[in-house]
Amino acid sequence: MRINGNAIKVGNLIQHKNRLWVATKTQHTQPGKGGAYLQVELKDIRDGTKLNERFRSSEAVEKVRLDAKVYQYLFEEGDMITLMDNDSFEQIVVSKDLVGEPVAFIQDGMDLTVVSYEGDIIAVNLPDTVTMEVVEADGVVKGQTASSSYKPAKLENGERIMVPPHIESGTRVVVDTSEGTYVEKAKD
């Protein structure tokens, strides 16, 4: 779908110079001399490189639409993970690199969203939060105020996060998968 260059918004995915870019910042500029333009900071979705471009209203860019489908996590083998289509039960194998840092929070049977463009898988997204058990938590240091102090804890997957002083070993907590941070104590 073609859109005007000055209609690009933050979060839009566009095709520019034969690559896929996501707009991370936009700023309308109207110089005293000449026509107005939109200054856009773009980030390549495959390798993360950045590019600053100026788009005038007379220019047209191709806005890209991505396909997303839910797959179930089955197992990992080396640097690859195997996923199963929930509808057709077809299995696919993708690189852990498509998941990125949150790969440590994948759990057996978890539903993952596979994002593709023209048949090429470009990302695998986890749910925003996961519930995990704390297997090791440091004791509370006497005199710490509960409002702002956190202590280190180890989760069942081996990841270390900071948790409030009242969290003990064996407690289930909700963790933000994108940041790898404590959200709240699990309600289950």
Predicted confidence (pLDDT) per residue in 102-118, tens digit:
888 999 999 999 988 88
Percentage of the chain with pLDDT > 90?
44
Mean pLDDT to the nearest integer, 147-163: 88
Domain 67-125 has CATH 3.30.930.10: no
Answer whether residue 154 shows pLDDT above 90: yes
Bridge partners of residue 84, in order along the sequence = 72, 91
CB atoms inside a 10 Å sphere around CB 161: 19
Q: Decide which of 87 and 145 is more confident.
A: 87
> Residues 51, 42: contact at Cβ < 8 Å?
yes
The structural architecture, per CATH, of the domain 129-185 is: Beta Barrel (2.40)
Percentage of the chain with pLDDT > 70?
95
**pLDDT at residue 92, rounded to an integer:** 95
> Residues 120, 66: contact at Cβ < 8 Å?
no
CA 72, 76, 79, 85: dihedral to nearest 10 degrees?
-20
Q: Average pLDDT of the chain?
A: 88
Token pair for 95: 């690189």
Answer whether residue 129 shows pLDDT above 90: yes
Residues of each domain in the chain carrying CATH 2.30.30.30: 2-63
**pLDDT at residue 144, rounded to an integer:** 59
Token pair for 157: 């997957």
Band of residue 70 on the pLDDT scale cut at 50, 70, 90: very high
Band of residue 169 on the pLDDT scale cut at 50, 70, 90: very high
Using DSSP, state whether 105 is helix, strand or coil: helix
Token pair for 137: 């938590």
CB atoms inside a 10 Å sphere around CB 10: 11
> Residues 61, 55: contact at Cβ < 8 Å?
yes
Predicted confidence (pLDDT) per residue in 132-149, tens digit:
999 998 876 666 555 568
CB atoms inside a 10 Å sphere around CB 37: 20
Give me the CATH code for the 2-63 domain, please.
2.30.30.30
Which residues are within 8 A (CB) of 41 and not within 5 positions of it... i.e. 6 or more apart? 23, 24, 25, 26, 50, 51, 52
Residues of each domain in the chain carrying CATH 2.40.50.140: 67-125, 129-185
Q: What backbone phi and psi angles, to 5 degrees, belong to 32?
A: -65, -30
> Residues 37, 56: contact at Cβ < 8 Å?
yes
